[in-house]
Structure 1
Amino acid sequence: MEAELAALVRLAASTVVGAMATAGWESAQRAVGELWRRVHPERADTVVAELGEARADVLAAREQGDERAERELVVAWQARLRRLLAADPELAPELRRITDELLPLTGEAGPPADGTRLTANASGRSRVTMAGRDINITKG
């Protein structure tokens, strides 16, 4: 489950930062602010203001073609979201819902609809066979 939460946090941070550069950035700001209000209400207004500042940074980074600056913002928000979920793991379904709502705004592809993701690394004379479901292998 830990790996699943880590993947959710990575996707959520990337989605929130990506949404900052869209017309729907206020939805991202509002949704993230609501998460903070549930766990740390005393910090929520500060987080909302920082999202606005981060938006300015994202827009500037995209204008200048500075992918590194945008990646750094994703890492920063990833750390914040990780700490938020550590404080209240029950927020995971809500963070997933928010991410699903914001992802179309970013123009990026999300995880596969069925949740299946296969990754393999092979070297030398290795052979990798992967299947998300049925597979038939015949040698001819």
Structure 2
Amino acid sequence: MDPVVVAAGSALVSAMATDGWQQTRAAVVEWWRRRRPDRADEVGSELETVRAQVLAAREQGDEDTEQALAGSWRLQLQQLLREDPALADELQRLLDEHLAPAPSEGDRAQHRPIVMRAEARDNSRVYQAGRDQHITGS
């Protein structure tokens, strides 16, 4: 399977559970509309159905279902590339610009750089953590 298909299928299903889903969905439907106008509305409906399944799977901790749904999208995308191999570059662009974009403002806040400095002398100890820290024992 083409690597861009694997990445795009996985990213698409992962994006379904994000706050930016509606923008991603719109970009994917528009991409299909330009490539296969006869299927665009059907794809839009299917995306919503699959999104509901992804959200339910995540709520239940069902990773197998989520992987199966990603696999289904990979197959659809692979078939599209089989019919028109020139679409690989456009699929890569869709992946780069809409399916796997830069982190949102909230994500950036959670993943900001941390600089820590410490100095220990004699029998002292230093414990540092960028986030949660659990120390047991003495």
TM-score by length of 1: 0.67
Give 1:81 deviation, angstroms: 0.6
Residues 79-134 of structure 1 show CA distances to partners (whole Å, capped at 9, x for unaligned) of: 00111112222221221112112224789xxxxxxxxxxxxxxxxxxxxxxxxxxx
How far, CA to CA, are the matches of 1:106 and 1:78 in structure 2? 23
Q: Which residue is 1:98 aligned to?
A: 94
Residues 41-64 of structure 1 show CA distances to partners (whole Å, capped at 9, x for unaligned) of: 111101111001111111100000
Q: Which residue is 2:53 aligned to?
A: 57
Residues 7-56 of structure 1 show CA distances to partners (whole Å, capped at 9, x for unaligned) of: 11000000000000001112221222123212321111011110011111
* Structure 1 pair 47–18 and aligned structure 2 pair: CA distance change class (3 A): same
Which amino acid in the other structure matches residue 100 of structure 2? L
In structure 2, stretches of 5+ residues that fail to align are 105-138
Secondary structure (helix, strand or coil) at the match of 1:89 reads coil
Identity among equivalent positions (%) equals 50
CA RMSD of aligned residues (A): 1.9
TM-score by length of 2: 0.68
- 1:39 equivalent to 2:35? Answer yes
Looking at CA atoms only, which structure, 1 or 2, has the larger radius of gyration?
2
The number of aligned residues is 103
Residues 39 and 84, structure 1, Cα contact 8 Å, conserved in 2: no
